[in-house]
């Protein structure tokens, strides 16, 4: 196939995207495909359209921002380019807004972490300390913080664009969904801290267990919840669904990642490998799913 890889971008996750795209391109080339890499900027779309139409697939290795929030996907479809990887505009937009995503999956019966959108008038959080503050949109745990006291809460300004969630003290899991099936669950155990940006992308900063050491019934439950959330969010082809247990050991949905990381430390490729899908084959299959949508 002739494949165009879009990576880089302008979001806070640019560096992760550069690593993802470079690794994807190398894997696709090793599998015999012709690959062109583009460090994408919003204003570059017009000059790329002709090459995109000529490509068999456009591989989106972008993370966060307009590359993952449905904006780019909508612009591509407006130009008749449907053969890009990942979810369409609607699913991408819903998943990116964490509060909206949680409402959608909750309606379908998936338990979620309780959360509110705070404003300047909120003198204290509605949940006991500690609480979790995270950006309402975005990924890679950029901007994630734990607030452990009223003193810390008062110091945090502004609260606009943030989501406040209850702290869930249990184990953390992620489940990849790929081409209609759930991949083995991964348990994430950060070493000496929370699973923040540094722990995600520093080799050895976290222990990732795949398949997660779980009873069969619990593993099946996570798979079922991930597939249900995937459908509720109108996602397509692949995504990664994150969960954390409450104090009773019940998994709660946190968020969905429609363009999951593809770096050496990323969890989606790890789960695929555990399922018997080596990285070059994974990338090839992702591109092939997109290629099926190409207009002839």
Name 45's Cβ contacts closer than 8 Å, sequence gap at least 6. Answer: 72, 75, 76, 79
pLDDT in tens, 144-155: 888 999 999 988
Q: Which residue, 208, 191, 229, 225, is CA-closest to 273?
A: 208
Q: Which two tokens stand for residue 91?
A: 């699913």
In this model, does residue 84 exceed pLDDT 50? yes
Q: Which two tokens stand for residue 71?
A: 């904006």
pLDDT of residue 295: 83
Q: How many CA atoms lie within 13 A of 92 on its CB side?
A: 24
Q: Is 225 exposed, middle or buried (0-12, 13-18, 19+ CB in 10 A)?
A: buried
In this model, does residue 197 exceed pLDDT 50? no
Instruction: Delimit the domains of the chain by residue range.
Output: 2-85+280-291, 94-113+168-276, 115-166
Q: Which fold has domain 2-85+280-291?
A: Rossmann fold (3.40.50)
Catalytic residues: 13, 140, 201, 240, 242, 255, 257, 261
Q: Which residue, 62, 79, 58, 56, is CA-closest to 21?
A: 62
Over residues 4-8, the mean pLDDT reads: 98
Is the separation of the CB atoms in 117 and 133 below 8 Å?
A: no
| 94-113+168-276: CATH class | alpha beta
Return the number of other C-beta atoms located less than 10 Å from residue 293's C-beta: 15
Interatomic CA distance for residues 115 and 244, integer angstroms = 14
- Tell me 46's DSSP state: H
pLDDT of residue 75: 97
| Prediction pTM value | 0.92
Percent of the chain with pLDDT over 90: 82
Over residues 36-40, the mean pLDDT reads: 97
- Domains 2-85+280-291 and 94-113+168-276 belong to one CATH topology: no
Write down the mean pLDDT value for the chain.
92
Over residues 200-224, the mean pLDDT reads: 85
In this model, does residue 22 exceed pLDDT 70? yes
């Amino acid at each position: 196939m002739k494949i165009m890889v879009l990576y880089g971008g302008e979001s806070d996750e640019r560096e992760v995207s550069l690593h993802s795209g470079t690794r994807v391109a190398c894997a696709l080339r090793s599998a015999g495909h012709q690959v062109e890499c583009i460090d994408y900027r919003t204003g570059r779309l017009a000059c790329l359209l002709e090459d995109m139409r000529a490509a068999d697939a456009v591989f989106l290795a972008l993370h966060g921002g307009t590359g993952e929030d449905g904006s780019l996907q909508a612009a591509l479809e407006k130009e008749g380019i449907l053969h890009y990887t990942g979810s369409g505009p609607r699913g991408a937009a819903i998943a990116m807004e964490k509060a909206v995503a949680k409402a959608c999956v909750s309606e379908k019966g998936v338990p979620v972490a309780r959360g509110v959108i705070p404003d300047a008038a909120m003198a204290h959080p509605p949940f006991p300390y500690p609480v979790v503050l995270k950006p309402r949109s975005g990924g890679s745990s950029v901007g994630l913080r734990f607030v452990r006291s009223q003193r810390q809460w008062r110091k945090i300004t502004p609260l606009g664009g943030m989501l406040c969630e209850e702290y869930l003290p249990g184990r953390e899991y992620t489940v990849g969904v790929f081409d209609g099936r759930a991949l083995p669950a991964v348990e994430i155990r950060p070493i000496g801290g929370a699973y923040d940006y540094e722990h995600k992308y520093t080799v050895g900063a976290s222990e990732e267990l795949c398949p997660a050491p779980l009873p069969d019934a619990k593993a099946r439950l996570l798979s079922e919840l991930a597939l249900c959330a995937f459908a509720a969010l109108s996602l397509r082809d692949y995504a990664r669904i994150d969960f954390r247990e409450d104090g009773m050991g019940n998994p709660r949905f946190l968020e969905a990642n429609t363009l999951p990381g593809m770096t050496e430390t990323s969890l989606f490729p790890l789960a695929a490998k555990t399922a018997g899908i080596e990285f070059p084959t994974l990338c090839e299959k992702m591109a092939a799913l997109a290629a099926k949508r190409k207009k002839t």
